[in-house]
């Protein structure tokens, strides 16, 4: 039950809607005061009464409502205490009945959401900097699916641009096909770094690189063949990473896919009088909106990101008829997306308002930031392997006889990396620490995964405990109530994660639920001689397991049966 809504719909305050009153209701700092409280100070000016008088009047007029045990006026606050026994019964029965479908809704029925995420660059390494966009996008994909939306996951490959001209130049001057076939992306990265080192003293290389890219655009057989060769090597290697992360896509239509779709965009911009010449380039002037011009064609006639992104947006609307189109891209691209959305708006695309830049912070290691051009990158595969090795060493130390410990170590290691990216608000910059994300005692994936394993252990030892509960004989204690209070919020947390594009709502739910269960586990004897109480506490343990597994599944963290 949504108790905030239940309270709000039974309070009538002139000039305020039920939704507004519900938004004002808060959770007091201590349970002794109450389970919910309505501060009445904000109504004082409108009602021309002192807050304590408003609270007093409201308490006297509040009807008897099932689920609300008491209503009390304290100063300018109206405090509510729940019928805890009834509340816990309702939550436990609901979660156990729904199982791992707990929190599932059909909010998105008939609606389509496109999510552009990961979007790795061809012929560049898949490094830890790509982890945020990949796991945030994949989490949102699962969340929207769970809420009943039709979701289209798009890996908008970075397979176009001058960098391919640079790579062709490097390959033709210093490359060896046998070495590239053997070493794959590692060798392509070495060539790319070499190009930038030499270009610092020879600016003519950039002119040749631009010319090579132009040849790709115009369909030169040799350059297109090399481009496809680099693309095949990249996709083969990154597929291994996606499998480790359990991330999938519905479309791999990258920038090159839109090569033949940019002409109509340029024609429409021209026909609508939006395209103007500026220093040899063709741009859309955005001075009126306090933005620099959006460059559509460079002076040499080559297209840019904006050109291809406009074409991609129009293609996605035509193909999928999306209700929303999300771009999971770092905040450094804020200006680009503001320009993109504004240009589409100026092109009279009413759906421009349905496009959202889901910005996130940057990732660095404790050793510092990264640069592909300078070769200062940490490969994501190396990060995941190191997480696996560290997890395996911890398992060997704590539980050396664990069955299938290599698979468990992989689930724990990969889960730790994913969870570490999703724990904080997405806009925050993240400094990745192996020790921190693999801590079994902190706010981490291993801590939550171990809690699921603890639930499994309790349930497996309770074969002789029945499922029938005489609820009239159950008196709920503080630990049980707190656990159920958190359990009851999962549907709301899933919805909040979707509406605010913020998976950390679910990640933090998993941590708080794990903390509450572990306190309950240590403070309360789950299986005892009291068969009725044992059945009740076992059901509470099952409910915790269902909710925690679902939360972790939504953010892409697997839950080993044992740890």
* Rounded distance between C-alpha atoms, residue 503 and residue 501, angstroms: 7
The percent of residues in the chain predicted with pLDDT above 70, rounded, is 98
Helices 185-199 and 204-218 pack at an angle, to 10 degrees, of 130
Contact between 44 and 50 under an 8 Å Cβ cutoff? The reply is yes
Over residues 171-198, the pLDDT tens digits come to 999 999 999 999 998 899 899 989 999 9
**Of 84-93, 126-135, 141-150, highest mean pLDDT:** 141-150
251 close to 119: Cβ distance less than 8 angstroms: no
Angle at 163 between CA 158 and CA 166, to 5 degrees: 150
Tell which wins on pLDDT, 508 or 362.
508
More confident residue, 440 or 28: 28
Report phi then psi at 39, rounded to 5: -70, 130
Predicted confidence band of residue 466 (pLDDT cuts 50, 70, 90): confident
Structure tokens at 331: 């905040």
pLDDT greater at residue 94 or residue 364: 94
Rounded CA-CA distance 526/536 in Å is 9
Over residues 82-104, the pLDDT tens digits come to: 999 999 999 999 999 999 899 99
Contacts of 273 by beta carbon, 8 Å cutoff, 6+ apart = none
How does residue 364 score in pLDDT terms, banded at 50, 70 and 90?
Answer: confident
Residue 1, pLDDT > 70, answer: no
pLDDT score, position 91: 94
Share the mean pLDDT of the chain.
92
- pLDDT-derived band at 62 (thresholds 50, 70, 90) equals very high
- Report helix, strand and coil shares of the chain as percent, to nearest 5: 60, 10, 30
Give yes or no for residue 375 having a pLDDT over 60.
no
> What is the reported pLDDT for 88?
94
For the cut 60, the answer to whether the pLDDT of residue 369 exceeds it is no
pLDDT (mean) for 383-400: 91
Which is nearest to 236 in space by CA: 113, 126, 117, 366?
126
| Closest to 422 (Cα-Cα) out of 432, 412, 413 | 432
pLDDT class for 367, splitting at 50, 70, 90? low
Is residue 353 within 8 Å of residue 383, measured between CB atoms?
no
Asked whether the beta carbons of 233 and 137 are under 8 A apart, the reply is: no
At 377 the pLDDT is 67
Tokens at residue 95, please?
A: 């979660």
- 286 or 33: which leads in pLDDT: 286
**Contact yes or no for 145/105 (Cβ under 8 A):** no
Neighbours of 321 (CB within 10 A): 12
Strand ranges across the sheet with 281-284: 275-278, 281-284, 294-297
Q: What is the pLDDT of residues 302-344, one digit of tens each?
A: 778 899 999 999 999 999 999 999 999 999 999 999 999 999 9
Distance set, CA 1 to CA 5, 203, 272, 491 (Å): 9, 67, 53, 11
| pLDDT at res. 424 | 87
pLDDT band at 438 (very low <50, low <70, confident <90, very high): confident
| 393 CA to centre of own chain | 29
Determine the 3-state secondary structure of 202 from DSSP: coil
The structural domains of the chain, ordered by start, are: 3-82 (3.30.1360.70), 386-555 (1.10.730.10)
SS3 at position 355: strand
232-291 confidence digits (pLDDT tens): 998 888 998 999 999 999 999 998 899 889 999 999 999 999 999 998 999 999 999 999
- Whether the CB-CB separation of 31 and 92 falls below 8 Å is answered with no
| Segment 520-526 mean pLDDT | 96
Query: pLDDT tens-digit profile of 472-510?
Result: 999 999 999 999 989 999 999 999 999 999 999 999 999
Give backbone dihedrals phi and psi of 364, rounded to 5 degrees, phi first: -135, 165
8, 22 contact by CB (below 8 A): yes
Predicted local confidence at residue 256, as pLDDT: 87
Q: What per-residue confidence (pLDDT) applies to 477? A: 94
């Amino acid at each position: 039950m949504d108790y905030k809504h239940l309270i709000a719909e039974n309070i009538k305050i002139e000039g305020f809607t039920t939704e507004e009153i519900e938004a004002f209701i808060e959770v007091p700092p201590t349970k002794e005061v109450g389970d919910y409280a309505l501060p009445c100070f904000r109504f004082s000016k409108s009602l021309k009464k002192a807050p304590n008088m408003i609270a007093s009047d409201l308490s006297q007029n509040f009807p008897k409502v099932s689920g609300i045990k008491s209503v009390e006026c304290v100063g300018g606050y109206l405090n509510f205490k729940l019928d805890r026994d009834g509340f816990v019964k309702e939550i436990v029965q609901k979660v156990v009945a729904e199982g791992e479908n707990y929190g599932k809704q059909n909010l998105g029925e008939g609606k389509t959401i496109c999510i552009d995420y990961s979007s790795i660059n061809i012929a560049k390494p898949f490094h830890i900097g790509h982890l945020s966009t990949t796991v945030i996008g994949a989490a949102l994909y699962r969340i929207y699916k769970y809420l009943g939306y039709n979701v289209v996951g798009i890996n908008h490959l970075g397979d176009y641009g001058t960098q391919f001209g640079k790579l062709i130049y490097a390959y033709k001057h210093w490359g060896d096909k046998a070495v590239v076939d053997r070493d794959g992306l590692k060798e392509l990265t070495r060539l790319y770094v070499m190009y930038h080192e030499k270009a610092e003293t020879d600016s003519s290389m950039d002119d040749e690189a631009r010319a090579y890219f132009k040849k790709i655009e115009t369909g030169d057989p040799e350059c297109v063949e090399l481009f496809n060769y680099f693309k095949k090597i990249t996709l083969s290697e990154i597929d291994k990473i996606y499998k480790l992360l359990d991330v999938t896509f519905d479309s791999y239509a990258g920038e090159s896919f839109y090569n033949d779709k940019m002409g109509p965009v340029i024609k429409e911009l021209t026909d609508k009088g939006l395209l103007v010449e500026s220093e040899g380039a063709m741009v859309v002037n955005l001075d009126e909106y306090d933005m620099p011009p959006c460059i559509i064609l460079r002076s040499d006639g080559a297209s840019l990101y904006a050109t291809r992104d406009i074409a991609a947006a129009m293609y996605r609307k035509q193909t999928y008829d999306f209700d929303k189109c999300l771009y999971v891209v770092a905040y450094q691209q804020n200006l680009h997306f503001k320009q993109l959305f504004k240009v589409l708006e100026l092109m009279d695309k009413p759906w421009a308002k349905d496009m959202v830049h889901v910005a996130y912070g940057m990732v660095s290691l404790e050793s510092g930031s990264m640069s592909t051009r300078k070769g200062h990158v940490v490969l994501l595969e190396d990060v995941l392997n190191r997480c696996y090795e560290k997890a395996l060493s911890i398992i060997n130390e704590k539980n050396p006889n664990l069955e299938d410990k290599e698979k468990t170590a992989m689930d724990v290691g990969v889960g730790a990396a994913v969870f570490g990216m999703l724990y904080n608000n997405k806009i925050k910059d993240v400094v990745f620490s192996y020790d921190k994300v693999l801590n079994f005692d902190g706010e981490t994936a291993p801590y939550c995964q171990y809690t699921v394993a603890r639930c499994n252990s309790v349930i497996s030892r309770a074969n002789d405990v029945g499922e029938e509960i005489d609820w009239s004989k159950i008196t709920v204690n503080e630990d049980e109530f707190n656990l159920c209070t958190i359990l009851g919020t999962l549907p709301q947390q899933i919805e909040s994660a979707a509406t605010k594009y913020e998976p950390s709502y679910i990640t933090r739910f998993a941590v708080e639920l794990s903390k509450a269960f572990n306190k309950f586990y240590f403070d309360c004897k789950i299986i005892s001689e009291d068969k009725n109480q044992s059945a009740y506490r076992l059901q509470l343990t099952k409910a915790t397991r269902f909710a925690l597994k679902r939360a972790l599944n939504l953010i892409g963290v697997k839950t080993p049966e044992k740890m």
